[in-house]
């Protein structure tokens, strides 16, 4: 499955309150909201549920969580509780999607839940975890710290 990494453009849809000020993370957050929006439109316009696109959304959530965990690891953030939230959410969404596939119903509920959960997660968890960083702390290519800073371990 191809996963495209979007860029946050000047026409970015994320409100200020949902920005974490790390371009890679903000771009992925926006991509997830875009995918949810387009699935809502697809489901509204048709009685068919595009299961492949729902699977793709779930895969993108997993890809995005792995990105956050990689960046947190690179700068030595304590991310254990946050990563646990990611793992629990992925399991919950997997279960809900399996139920959706089995029943063929509640696609809108699934999408509303994704959107609600994700917005809350960004504003309450991501901004808290990443608020101590800025893009100046990370190398734009490698995602690693530019140099020893307060978030690096001695061995990093």
User: How many residues interact with Fe ion (rule CB under 5 A)?
Assistant: 2
**Window of 31-39, 48-56, 102-110, 125-133 that interacts with Fe ion by CB under 5 A:** 125-133
Rounded to a whole number of angstroms, the minimum distance from the CB of residue 68 to Fe ion is 5
Query: What are the CA-CA distances from residue 142 to residues 20, 66, 137 (Å)?
Result: 18, 15, 12
What's the min distance (Å) between Cβ of 64 and Fe ion? 8
C-alpha triplet 8, 91, 143: angle, nearest 5°: 35
Residue 26 in the binding site for Fe ion (CB under 5 A)? no
Cβ distance 133 to 22 under 8 Å? yes
By beta-carbon proximity to Fe ion, the closer residue of 24 and 68 is 68
What's the chain's length in residues? 156
Q: Of 69 and 106, which CB lies nearer to Fe ion in the complex structure?
A: 69
Q: Is 126 in the site for Fe ion (CB under 5 A)?
A: yes
The three-class DSSP label of residue 137 is: helix
């Amino acid at each position: 499955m191809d996963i495209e990494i979007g860029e946050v453009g000047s026409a970015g849809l994320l409100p200020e309150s949902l920005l974490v000020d790390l371009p890679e993370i903000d771009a992925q957050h926006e991509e997830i909201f875009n995918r949810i929006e387009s699935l809502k439109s697809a489901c509204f316009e048709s009685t068919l549920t595009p299961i492949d696109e729902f699977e793709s959304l779930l895969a993108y959530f997993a890809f995005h969580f792995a990105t956050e965990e990689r960046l947190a690891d690179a700068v030595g953030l304590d991310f254990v509780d946050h990563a646990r939230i990611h793992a629990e959410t992925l399991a919950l969404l997997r279960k809900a999607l399996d139920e959706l596939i089995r029943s063929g119903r509640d696609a809108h509920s699934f999408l509303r839940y994704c959107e609600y959960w994700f917005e809350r997660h960004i504003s309450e968890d991501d901004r808290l975890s990443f608020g101590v960083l800025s893009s100046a702390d990370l190398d734009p290519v490698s995602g690693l710290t530019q140099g020893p800073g307060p978030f690096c371990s001695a061995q990093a």
